[in-house]
Every structure is written in structure tokens, then in C-alpha cells.
Amino acid sequence: MLGGGSRNGFSGGQSSQLGGGSQTGSITGTARKTPISSTKQTTNPSTSFAKPTTSSSVGSNKPYTGSMANDQSYIKDLWQQENGNKVGFNSKTGKWVGNAAPEKGGKVDYGPGLKLPYKAGGYTQSEIDSALKSKITGIEGQLRKNVASMGKNYDNLSENQKKLLVDYSYNTGDAFAKFPKMSKAIVNGDVKGMNADYKRYYTDKSGQRKEIQQRNQWTKSIIDSFGK
């Protein structure tokens, strides 16, 4: 996926990766032997989340006490960025099966770019939703520590600040490790600093470095909302 994790195909200046990352949420399974890639997919699977759109949902720049794991505006955007075409969804069984990740070194993604253990038959939508929530909750736990190291409180940040921090961690594995300047600029509300360092790239399987254009456009739309 073009999404989150500790994968090694991403960069913004540093090496990062596309997708859900090395976290596996709360779902367990047996070790994968071969990816499932031939299953029929659909563009309209049953899901508890709103259907993704091509436009971003710019949130609030006021202090926001909520979690991104429960923020349906961000969840909708995340699905669109990671797997807007619902690749890997089997319309006959109603389950998500593994599909090959696009980045170099990437293996198999499930749903919105989640790196999960192989499971015969695939994962239900409920299981994918649960794993996604668990992953974002874990990301926010680490971000609280990162933001605290700057003398600030993650829970006092705005919805848009949290969206960006969570998305960079989901997409690259660790926002503060892979995009330290961008992460600090987000926390400080430094628009100039964000504009200087927001673009994300990935290395595809052929070794070519490419810009993640749709995600960068989404990011820029949020940056442009700061101060308004």
C-alpha cells in the first residue's frame, strides 16, 4: 500500500515506506506462505466507514481531545489514500484477502494498507476495522511520548495537527524518526516549516523514486488551513 509502517521504500528526504507499517494490530494468524492475489474484488464492499471520496476532509484547528482512531473524517481519508479502489476485497465472501504492496520491500497489504499475518480465507470487515483502530491507537501512544519530549501535550493539539502526525506515522512507520522537521513543525503550528518538508516519496519495486502525489495534495490542503 501507499501507506504506513516501517517499510523501507519511503522517503521525504529520509528513507521510509508505503503503508500500514510493521504493526499488526490485534489480529493474529499463521505465517504467510504465498500471497493471495487472484481473488475477485469489488469497489463497494460492506464497511462501517463512510465511502471514501477523492477530496480531503479538512478538520478543525482548535484544540481537539478526540482520538484519530475514532475520527471518521480521518478514517475516510485514510481509506481513500491507502486503498480507495478496495483492492483485495472478495465480494463473494465479504472478506479482505492479501494484495501485493506497491513499494520496494513491501509484501502483502490488507484493506487500508495493514500488514497482518496470513489468514486462510481472509479477514472480515469487522476484523479490518478493529485492526485499524488498534494500529492508530498504538501510533497515538507513541506520538504522546514524542510530543511530550517537546514539552507539549498531544491531547491539546488540534484535529488537523493530530491528523498529520498520525498519517505520517501510519504512512512511514514513525513520523518523528522519518520526518523529524515536519513533525516538529506540525506540533509548533509552523506553516513555513511544514511547507518546506511535507512531500512524501516512495521507491517502487523497480527501484524508481516516485512522489506520492495524492497524499501530498491531501497534506497540503490541511497545511493551507492553518491560520484560517
Q: Note the pLDDT tens digit of each residue in 177-204.
A: 999 999 999 999 999 999 999 999 999 8
The overall average pLDDT reported for the chain is 81
Please give the Cα distance from 148 to 171 (Å, whole number).
22
- 106 falls in which pLDDT band (50, 70, 90)? low
Q: Is residue 190 part of a domain?
A: yes
**What backbone phi and psi angles, to 5 degrees, belong to 48?**
-80, -5
Amino acid identity of residue 32, one-letter, is R
Residue indicated by cell numbers 495524492:
214
* Grid cell for residue 81: 489514500
For the stretch 122-154, pLDDT in tens is 999 999 999 999 999 999 999 999 999 999 999
The DSSP line for 128-139 is HHHHHHHHHHHH
**Domain assignment present for 89:** yes
For residue 35, pLDDT beyond 50: no
**How many domains is the chain partitioned into structurally?**
1
d(CA 37, CA 97): 8
Q: Is residue 2 part of a domain?
A: no
- Whether 63 is in a domain gets the answer yes
Query: In whole angstroms, what is the distance from residue 169 CA to residue 139 CA?
Result: 7
DSSP the chain: --S-SS-SSEESSSEE-SSS-S--TT---BPPSS----S---SS---SSPPP-SS------SB--S-GGG-HHHHHHHHHHHHTT-TTEETTTTEE--EE-SBTT--EEBTTTB---B-TT-EEHHHHHHHHHHHHHHHHHHHHHHHHTTT--GGGSBHHHHHHHHHHHHHHS-HHHH-HHHHHHHHHT-HHHHHHH---EEEBTTS-EEE-HHHHHHHHHHHTTTT-
Residue 4 forms part of a structural domain: no
CA distance 87 to 79: 11
Give burial (CB, 10 Å; 0-12/13-18/19+) of 8. Answer: middle
Domain assignment of residue 58, yes or no: yes
Instruction: Please give the share of the chain, as a percent, with pLDDT higher than 90.
Output: 64
Q: Is 106:17 a contact under the CB 8 Å cutoff?
A: yes
The answer as to whether 140 is a domain residue is: yes
- Residue 113's domain comprises 10-223
Q: What CA–CA distance (Å, rounded) separates 27 from 114? A: 11
Total Cβ atoms within 10 A of residue 225: 16
Query: Which of 192, 191, 211, 193 is closest to 201 using CA atoms?
Result: 211
What is the mean pLDDT of the segment spanning 197-224?
A: 95
Q: Is the pLDDT assigned to residue 27 strictly greater than 70?
A: no
Average pLDDT over residues 150-168: 97
In a domain, 217, yes or no: yes
